[in-house]
Amino acid sequence: MYADLETDALEALAARLEGDFNAMKARGLSLNMARGKPASDQLDLSMPMLSSVTDPASCTADSGLDCRNYGVLDGLPEAKRLMAVFLDDTPEHVVVGGTSSLTLMYDALVRCCLFGTDGCAPWNSLAQVKWLCPVPGYDRHFAITEALGFQMIPVPLTDEGPDMDLVEHLVRDDDSIKGIWCVPQYANPSGATYADTAVRRLANMECAAPDFRIIWDNAYGVHHLFDDVERQDHVLDIAAACREAGTPRRYLKFASTSKVTFPGAGLAALAASPDNLDEIRRHMGVATIGYDKLNQLRHVRFLGDARGIARHMSRHASILRPKFQLVARKLDESLFDVGDCRWSNPKGGYFVSFDAPEGCASRIVELAAEAGVTMTAAGATWPYGCDPRNSNIRIAPTLPPLDELDEALDVFVCCVKLAYAQKLLASRS
Ligand SMILES: Cc1ncc(COP(=O)(O)O)c(C=O)c1O
């Protein structure tokens, strides 16, 4: 381990790593492991969808409705059936929206701020609103709660969900804590999947705020990398858990086909309790006459049903699996003797979470950029972009082709080693 090396040996190692780094830099690379985007061969899988709605006859819904015109606020019945699969719910609890689940989440919180929910005061009329943020987490979630002026409280995300002892302790007495971000399956970025006990505790916990909301963002619910044995299949449904706990209005579920068909041109949907749905539809009906039903038809025809979705996702997995396996192999082989590094080995989703030696993350990302490899900014996985240990880095291996990913990972591990060796030397001088 680097920390155990004598200073002479560490200096020699740092000099060698610097040489390796400069050689990599001289290659003028331009590689990207920053954002969780599907690769182009994944996008190719969904191209047939675009030719499923072409002539006037193909624009008709099951009910006979002409989908080229206005009508239907909350989704075609067949689109609700399809999105119910992603939301692990029944079609009558589903509202199909536009193309982005993030927009649906943003709108849900903005409505709470402007109008209140469940008969409670609008959140923007309160002196303070606080929000629980499992960390490491999704930067765009944090951007929403930051933009709305909520005070974000980081809560550790374990392999089994948020640290529920802490969550229960925080929400019991503080009625300004209005909710929590949750990515229950293959979380962004750690890949953690919530255990049943965590789901039940979220549903059952005593909340001082009667309008506490769990934002249940099941963005990766069907994004398994492995077929069966190793796969963590089914997260306990928060809706069922809340109904059982007598807290049926506590959750709002979200999902989209962004990483199933086309990001930015997919279908987004939410599921909620009947009371919450009434509230949502009332406000939604003011904001829009209706969403894109032609896109709903395309998705229904292309994906079909749960089996169609599973078939399609296994094609995605065939493309993604080797990339995640490469990351795991490279990190294992290259960093086993470095020390103070940890990384996740997800069974699905889009990311690997990497914990660098404390204090090194921003330097690693900076070095990688110098060598032509763009990483997600250090700190992005924490509220306000501020990781107090300056340790966590999100690796997004999906976009680059395998050979480029291989090169980018070589650069990354070299930067990890160099940053750590230099930091240890600096601490000894
Ligand atoms: C956890 C999570 N939720 C939501 C999104 C974005 O979803 P959409 O494209 O439906 O807005 C992402 C994209 O990376 C994500 O990781």
Residue nearest to atom 6 of ligand 1 (CA): 102
Q: Which long-range contacts (CB under 8 A, 24 or more apart) does 239-244 make?
A: 239/88, 239/89, 239/93, 239/271, 239/273, 241/199, 241/200, 241/202, 241/203, 241/204, 242/203, 242/214, 242/273, 243/273, 244/203
* 190 close to ligand 1 (CB < 6 Angstrom): no
Residue nearest to atom 12 of ligand 1 (CA): 219
C-alpha 219 – ligand 1 centre gap (Å): 6
* 270 close to ligand 1 (CB < 6 Angstrom): no
> What beta strand segments (E) does 240-289 contain?
251-256, 268-271
Evaluated on CA atoms 134, 139, 144, 146, the torsion sign reads positive
Residue 422 CA to residue 263 CA, distance in Å, equals: 40
| Residue range 259-293, pLDDT digits in tens | 999 999 999 999 999 999 999 999 999 999 999 99
For a mutational test of ligand 1's pocket, the pick from 43, 99, 101, 223, i.e. the residue with the most ligand atoms closer than 8 A to its C-beta, is 101
Q: Is the pTM of this model over 0.85?
A: yes
Q: Which phi and psi angles does 78 have, rounded to 5°?
A: -70, -30
> CA-based angle 62:64:66, to the nearest 5?
110
* 219 close to ligand 1 (CB < 6 Angstrom): yes
* 129 close to ligand 1 (CB < 6 Angstrom): no
DSSP string, 319-381: HHHHHHHHHHHHHHHHHTTT-S-EE---SBSS-EEEEPSTT-HHHHHHHHHHTTEEEPPTTTT
* 408 close to ligand 1 (CB < 6 Angstrom): no
| Residue range 110-136, pLDDT digits in tens | 999 999 999 999 999 999 999 999 999
DSSP string, 128-194: --EEEEEES--HHHHHHHHHTTPEEEEEEEETTEE-HHHHHHHHHH-TTEEEEEE--SS-TTT----
* 263 close to ligand 1 (CB < 6 Angstrom): yes
C-alpha 159 – ligand 1 centre gap (Å): 20
* 257 close to ligand 1 (CB < 6 Angstrom): no
What pLDDT, on a 0 to 100 scale, did the predictor assign at position 232? Answer: 53
* 181 close to ligand 1 (CB < 6 Angstrom): no
Positions in the chain whose pLDDT score sits under 50: 229-231
What pLDDT, on a 0 to 100 scale, did the predictor assign at position 229? Answer: 41
Mean pLDDT of the chain: 96
C-alpha 388 – ligand 1 centre gap (Å): 25
* 339 close to ligand 1 (CB < 6 Angstrom): no
* 184 close to ligand 1 (CB < 6 Angstrom): no
Residue nearest to atom 13 of ligand 1 (CA): 36
Ligand 1: nearest atom to the Cα of 350: 16
* 268 close to ligand 1 (CB < 6 Angstrom): yes
